[in-house]
Structure 1
Amino acid sequence: MERGESDTEGDDTPLLHRGNEEKVQRAPACCSSRYGLALLSSFGFFVVYSLRVNLSVAMVDMLNNTHQSDTNHSSSVCPAHANPARPKHNHTASVYDWDSKTQGWILGSFFYGYILTQIPGGYLSGRFGPKWLMGFGILGTVVFTLLTPVAADLGASYLIAVRVLEGIGEGVTFPAMYTMWAAWAPPLERSRLLTISYIGAHLGTVISLPLSGEICFYLDWTYVFYVFGAVGLVWFFLWSFLVFDSPNTHPRISERERLYITTSLKNELSTSAGYIPWRAILTSMPLWAIVVAHFSYNWTFYTLLTLLPTYMNDVLGFSIQQNGMLSALPYIGCAVLAVLSGQLADYLRETCLYPTVVVRKSFSIVGMIGPAVFLLAAGFIGCNYTLAVTFLTISSALGGVSASGFNINHLDIAPSYAGILLGITNTFATIPGMVGPVIARELTKQNTIEEWQTVFYIAAAINLFGAAFYTLFGRGTVQPWAVHTSFSHGD
């Protein structure tokens, strides 16, 4: 069965001008099931990122001081800031004699599990439903987080294994959530709903980094895993009872909202149940445009996420322990701009009738070229502390604008297969988290400003290439292979 002409309507056609788009009465956002889902999924991603980054803070207290790197005590390139000593509480938790190589394996092992379940997560969520896949994925991560102190006592290899298993659990979360949004997010509310949903990831980073430090100080490092693990259990309880795979299976959704969501989506979803057009997916240039953009953006994101504290300490002379908010500023800015961009993107699409492709490309350009420009600027201002922190913060914050660009474009081009598409793009986008920081550290062995300029040049160049590629090949409408039911099963 073939669909009508709307399948191939141009990218320049605003959503409200599509020929077969039925007029549906919008359901109020307040107290709605779809916005309740956005808030609960945001809480879920808060848990996901809290469990992902808390080890990097706890690691400081897990190590025997005599085995910490000498670079912690080296002088910075710029004049150091005053760092008044803070009296430590008496701690009884174990400490370990892990060398820097072992520490690197422990901190990086998460991504080796994370990359394994991206594509399977997209497939399984479409086959068996996203609710329980995401729920048990995070629950598994919570359980292994609670076991972290035991694993550390057993030895570094056990801790590495636990972190790999945590990565496997978290790897299904984003693909599962994209699959769920394919059934829940009306086209003209996608930017709003998804940015609310994924702001939890930024908040998890913003809150867990300084809070983990305070927990280590007042209690000991083991409580970092117990506290955030307990928060994860609370989330799983709420998720189990309040969330459902689709509007049609939700027992408490209003009839008005159910009709609004299902009617607005009915012309965008495939009716080929259980069939996945793998060849069409893997040869789709709009998908590869998202892959390149996602990879490029994450190169800069992971470089700053893992090495910004090092740059501020070793080059600028700041101590991140002295001022927790300093390390959180970029992620606060990123979270704020992500939410604002979501509101603006849907306003431009619905009220100003901008085509989806124009909005996605414009927000991607700002969210990728903007960070590149300010990252380059940060490398040229030397020891001007105020400008350095300002430029690095703006660079990270502007990245939040891309949340309404390529980041949610999967749902525009193939909502029925959004989880699988996200699994594919996130597989490639995880690679920068594994190799980007390693390359950066190889380039900054002496921690000179010139070496760090090279790191910033590379990140900026990759960002610029990604923005250009996406601008050329990105699309904003549902692709024919994502809705047609007349495929040959040889595809």
Structure 2
Amino acid sequence: MATMADEKMAGENSPIDDDSHRAKEPSCRKGFCSVRHGLALILHLCNFSIYTQQMNLSIAITAMVNHTEASSQPNSSTEQTSMDSLGSWNETLKEAKALAPVYDWNPEIQGVLLSSLNYGSFLAPIPTGYVAGIFGAKYVVGVGLFVSSVLTLFFPLAADVGVALLIVFRVIQGIAQVMVLTGQYSIWVRWAPPLERSQLTTIAGSGSMLGTFIVLLVGGLLCQTMGWPYIFYIFGGIGCACCLLWFPLVYNDPGSHPFISTSEKRFIVCSLAQQDCSPGWSLPIKAMIKSLPLWAIVVSYFCEYWLFNTIMAYTPTYISSVLQASPKDSGILSALPFIVGCICIVLGGLLADFLLSRKILRLITIRKVFTATGVFFSSMFLVPLPWVRSSQGATMAFLVLSAASSSFCESGALVNFLDIAPRYAGFLKGLLQIFAHIAGAISPTIAGVFISQDSNAEFGWRNVFLVAAAIDIVGLIFYLIFAQAEVQDWAKEQALTHF
């Protein structure tokens, strides 16, 4: 590629022009009007679309089926409230079902439909990350977003054809979404200067929180007022619109981008000149297995996503069952922690890069401090929830504070793999996604067992939060002991240990 020659020339000239380069750096870094920040915003929209498409069936399915069994509340003091909420919910379902067809899907079929999105997710991340690292992320991410969005548009038609086709669509869509969520990190290896890595990745990643917030906020309203097919048409259409931005505006590296300024291109190339970003076909698997800094990130991913998936899966249930909120209020309250988390993710990234650029803290210190802050405070705000369940204000305050705290992990352990092995970023992100999916498969199931074993659910919820907090703290301790931020020997070009 022509960009390799440009990068080589820039790397050779950077020591000579070091003083002039430093003089030019501030002008390149001022504000957010740059191609790299525009790329972060486009990825923000892509992540927004993917997360709305992940959750839309979970919301629409209550209007798609012709029977919904509500769990009874054994507490006699709340029996009247439960009946009122049930009546309101039934009225909402009747209105929604009058606008669109309904299907005779029993709870078992509904469970298969909801979980089928993950059937291919366990196999896709590693090959997706590997291919994105070798060939570039532009087409891997773009194709994944396009396929997922088009399938979303055809969900209502697939539902009319039959459950089998809908399951096939969900499996393919799950693989396509993994292509987006995993492949995008290969872009930052060539686009993100080390001093801006946290802010760029968090701006892009915050789209997931915003997508969750929006779909929880408006999904039920769309089903009720326009009919459940429109939740697929609207969010599928948004994804297709993102594809129209992605393919013409996104390039794998600054050197091949036709619209980037010379000063920004020089700034990015010079900032990455000391970093080996060129991927190789061979992978140092043995060295990776023996690498404690890599295991620190893997363990941290598993433990942090255990808590995150528990909150994602059970926040609406907790608010609805424990706070006795109406369906409308439940959606709004469930969405609140995610919009706060979206804002705090971006603020955390800006703060991390500020501390690094001003040399206030070393990179490894930043990663550990942000991880410790996110894990410790998010866990501590969850544990007291069963004891403040009588107060809706206190419960929501703790949930919001927990979401705000956990967002700091995005600038800590969750981005640390870019520091220790940038040339294998795509492959490592795929590997880490596997452990995140494993945590996502186990944690909601364990939480459901705890809740079902307790007749009044008070001790069940307490056990759910205590176990999630304990696992997260264990992962934090392991990370604080073994984590590093320097490029590892096995991730350098001269590494000879392969498959």
- TM-score w.r.t. the length of structure 2 is 0.89
Instruction: Using the TM superposition, give the Cα deviation of residue 444 of structure 1 relative to its aligned residue in structure 2, in angstroms.
Output: 0.9
What corresponds to 1:235 in structure 2? 242
- Distance in structure 2 (CA, Å) of the matches to 1:89 and 1:133: 37
Range with bigger deviation, 142-151 or 76-85: 76-85
**Contact preservation (8 Å) 1:270, 1:484:** no
**Contact preservation (8 Å) 1:131, 1:243:** yes
**Contact preservation (8 Å) 1:77, 1:314:** no
Does residue 1:252 correspond to 2:259, yes or no?
A: yes
1:153 to 139, 154, 160: 160
- Distance in structure 2 (CA, Å) of the matches to 1:297 and 1:305: 12
- Distance in structure 1 (CA, Å) of the matches to 2:365 and 2:41: 28
Range with bigger deviation, 342-351 or 438-447: 438-447
- Distance in structure 2 (CA, Å) of the matches to 1:206 and 1:351: 34
Which structure's relative contact order is higher, taking Cα pairs within 8 Å and 6+ residues apart?
1
1 or 2, which has the higher helix percentage? 2
Instruction: Using the TM superposition, give the Cα deviation of residue 20 of structure 1 relative to its aligned residue in structure 2, in angstroms.
Output: 12
Distance 1:270 1:92, change over 3 A: closer
**Contact preservation (8 Å) 2:301, 2:436:** yes
What corresponds to 1:198 in structure 2? 205
What corresponds to 1:488 in structure 2? 496
2:485 to 448, 473, 476: 476
Question: What SS class does the counterpart of residue 475 from structure 1 fall into?
Answer: coil
Question: What SS class does the counterpart of residue 116 from structure 1 fall into?
Answer: coil
1:54 to 41, 51, 56: 56
Instruction: Using the TM superposition, give the Cα deviation of residue 397 of structure 1 relative to its aligned residue in structure 2, in angstroms.
Output: 2.0
Give the residue type in structure 2 aligned to 1:52: Q
- Distance in structure 1 (CA, Å) of the matches to 2:156 and 2:242: 22
Instruction: Using the TM superposition, give the Cα deviation of residue 424 of structure 1 relative to its aligned residue in structure 2, in angstroms.
Output: 0.7
Q: What are the equivalent positions in structure 2 for 1:3-402 lying under 5 Å apart?
A: 24=21, 25-26=24-25, 27-28=28-29, 29-65=31-67, 68-71=68-71, 74=73, 79=78, 80=81, 83=85, 85=88, 88=95, 91-270=98-277, 273-402=280-409
What corresponds to 2:420 in structure 1? 413
**Contact preservation (8 Å) 2:198, 2:411:** yes
Instruction: Count residues in correspondence.
Output: 469
Give the residue type in structure 1 aligned to 2:373: V
Give the residue type in structure 2 aligned to 1:54: N
**Contact preservation (8 Å) 2:213, 2:339:** yes
- Distance in structure 1 (CA, Å) of the matches to 2:282 and 2:105: 49
Instruction: Using the TM superposition, give the Cα deviation of residue 75 of structure 1 relative to its aligned residue in structure 2, in angstroms.
Output: 5.8
**Contact preservation (8 Å) 2:282, 2:498:** no
Question: What SS class does the counterpart of residue 113 from structure 1 fall into?
Answer: coil
Question: What SS class does the counterpart of residue 487 from structure 2 fall into?
Answer: coil
Instruction: Using the TM superposition, give the Cα deviation of residue 105 of structure 1 relative to its aligned residue in structure 2, in angstroms.
Output: 1.5
What corresponds to 1:450 in structure 2? 459
% identical equivalent positions: 37
What corresponds to 1:14 in structure 2? none
- Distance in structure 2 (CA, Å) of the matches to 1:327 and 1:364: 24
Question: What SS class does the counterpart of residue 379 from structure 1 fall into?
Answer: helix
Structure 1 gap ranges (5+)? 1-18
Distance 1:376 1:358, change over 3 A: same
Instruction: Using the TM superposition, give the Cα deviation of residue 251 of structure 1 relative to its aligned residue in structure 2, in angstroms.
Output: 1.1
Could you list the structure 1 runs, at least 4 aligned residues long, displaced by more than 6 angstroms after superposition: none
- Distance in structure 1 (CA, Å) of the matches to 2:98 and 2:116: 27
- TM-score w.r.t. the length of structure 1 is 0.91
- Distance in structure 2 (CA, Å) of the matches to 1:127 and 1:314: 48
- Distance in structure 2 (CA, Å) of the matches to 1:275 and 1:51: 35
Distance 1:141 1:390, change over 3 A: same
Question: What SS class does the counterpart of residue 383 from structure 1 fall into?
Answer: coil
What corresponds to 1:7 in structure 2? none
Give the residue type in structure 1 aligned to 2:485: G
Structure 2 gap ranges (5+)? 1-14
Give the residue type in structure 2 aligned to 1:488: L
Q: What RMSD over aligned residues (CA atoms) do the two structures have, in Å?
A: 2.1
Instruction: Using the TM superposition, give the Cα deviation of residue 313 of structure 1 relative to its aligned residue in structure 2, in angstroms.
Output: 1.7
- Distance in structure 2 (CA, Å) of the matches to 1:434 and 1:78: 35
**Contact preservation (8 Å) 1:303, 1:440:** yes
- Distance in structure 2 (CA, Å) of the matches to 1:413 and 1:436: 28
What corresponds to 2:8 in structure 1? none
